[in-house]
Chain A
Amino acid sequence: MLNNLFSNQIVLGLVQAAIAFTLALVVVLIANRRGIHIEKEVIVSLLRGIVQITAVGSVLLALLKSPNWVGIPILLGMFFAAGRTAARRAQGVNGAFNASFYGIALASGIVIGVMSWLGVIEYKIMSLVPVGSMVISAAMNSNALALNRFKAEITAHIGLIETALSLGASPEETVRPYVQAAIQASLIPRIDALRTLGIVWIPGLMTGMILAGSDPVYAAIYQFVVMGMIFATAGLSAMITMAFIQKQVFSPAEQLLIVSAQQNGNSDKKNNS
């Protein structure tokens, strides 16, 4: 219907974006009625999303004519932005950005590097940047879930962690179950995506390849390759980030810093209440 009303493709796109925006706002409104306040976060994210993706569309045009090395600073910029976004899920935990950045950069770097070396991803800027962005985005989501869960688990189990420390356990030992829970939780969406691949979800990459004239079977297999890469990066990134972050919640004298920050000398009051 909209196609008949708007002949200009850009105007058509903007109208479609406005409809999608409105649908998202309806969800925010329903959430608000139920006492879930995500208005600011969702509206800012939607606005940022449309501006960023439109800018990238313009950049991709320029990339077609750029040398391959230009892909490296672009990927580095993505590592940085993804690390910052995921680290927000662990606000108040020292070093969350560094842990997240290292996790994303190392995991994505290893997977993109190996796949490029094997020739699965073409060492061309037009392959590296879009495939890299998918992989980095998966690492970011996985890190955000892992960091969020890790912080929640630590906060909920301060008594058990302190007890284990007071019995002479190493910091790593005291948080091991919570690190495991965080990594497991971060991979749930990836495992579900693999499980329902082709049944519930037909990914865009495969659709695009078929529309561009690729053999549908090859497009499907290549989509699976990308999904495998995404899963590997997400898992590796969460594990590397957790390896870094679990050290950050303890001082060099093996004291739980989250407790120190929260306590503020109120332990007597808390105990007596």
Chain B
Amino acid sequence: MNLAPTQDSAVILRVENLGYESDGKTILKDISFDLSRGEHLAIVGSSGSGKSTLLRLLNRLLEPSRGTVYFGGQDYKEIPPRELRRKIGLILQQPYLFPGMVADNLRFGPAQRGETISDEAIAELLANVDLPDFAARDVANLSGGEAQRVSIARTLANSPEILLMDEPTSSLDEESRQQVEKLVCGIAQRQELTFIIVTHDMEQAGRLADKALVLEQGRIQRYGKVEEILHVK
């Protein structure tokens, strides 16, 4: 597949022939897909299929061995990494919070570019993730679900254009999973946010995404509308 950089302004992300090798081993090969603004993509696949590696490549925490990604029509290798990562936010499976207060975590991203966010903005971000009055809480005292919601609010504090989520609910109990899923849906609708979620849960993929991409041994096996690909919804 050989696609030219998109001219379609609705397409926010174009992944083109992306490949990744490590120690001579092919992890991902010929990954190509488009994502329009406001679209929600679920990446599913078995263990070791390269799902998490793909997310890290999209956030450029890893360097592609082949191909590239066009973000807003621009080759992402031409965008300074810090600016790119702010615009393509990543939420990891484990919510790694920095020691200190919840508010300090929310301030971290904007502070990296010299911006200070107000207490009101912090309260709004926390209200968005159903954690009002959590600003002064010590992160050491949060439950798994609360910590994951703080990590989502922290990424949103950077005002990303795309949100990448690597199995954000897999380590949570059922109640917390439902809460996180509900707030991801709510935020995505309110802010018209484009997101990509890696998940094992086909039902969850059906509930959250419009499109689905099935990875198998580092290659795209199927890609298209979620109901056609996963036979859910």
Contacts and interface: CB of A to CB of B under 8 A. Distances in A.
A16 interface: no
Contacts of A267: 52-53, 56
Interface residues of B, number: 46
A170 interface: yes
Contacts of B158: 167-168
A163 B23 CA distance: 24
B155 interface: yes
Given A160-B98, A255-B61, A168 B167 contact: no
Interface in A146-180: 159-160, 162-170, 173
B109 interface: yes
B105 to A, nearest CB: 9
**Is chain A's binding surface mostly helix, strand, loop or mixed?**
helix
B23 to A, nearest CB: 6
A163 B53 contact: no
A112 interface: no
Interface string B74-111: 00010001110110011011101010000000001100
A264 B52 CA distance: 12
B92 A268 contact: no
A263 to B, nearest CB: 7
Interface stretch (B4-12, B43-51, B116-124, B126-134): B43-51
Contacts, number: 103
Interface residues of A, number: 28
Interface string A241-267: 000000000010111100110011111
A65 interface: no
A272 interface: yes
B44 to A, nearest CB: 11
A256 B47 CA distance: 23
Listed residue (B45, B96, B158, B200) with the most chain A CB atoms within 10 angstroms of its CB: B96
Contacts of A168: 82-83, 85-86, 109, 112-113, 158
B59 interface: yes
A267 B54 CA distance: 10
Contact of A260 (B22, B85, B166): B22
A181 B32 CA distance: 43
A52 interface: no
A269 interface: yes
A167 B86 contact: yes
Given A260-B22, A271-B93, A167 B62 contact: no
B82 A268 contact: no
A256 B90 CA distance: 15
B166 A169 contact: no
A140 to B, nearest CB: 32
A268 B54 CA distance: 10
6 contacts: A163-B151, A166-B155, A264-B25, A265-B50, A267-B52, A268-B51
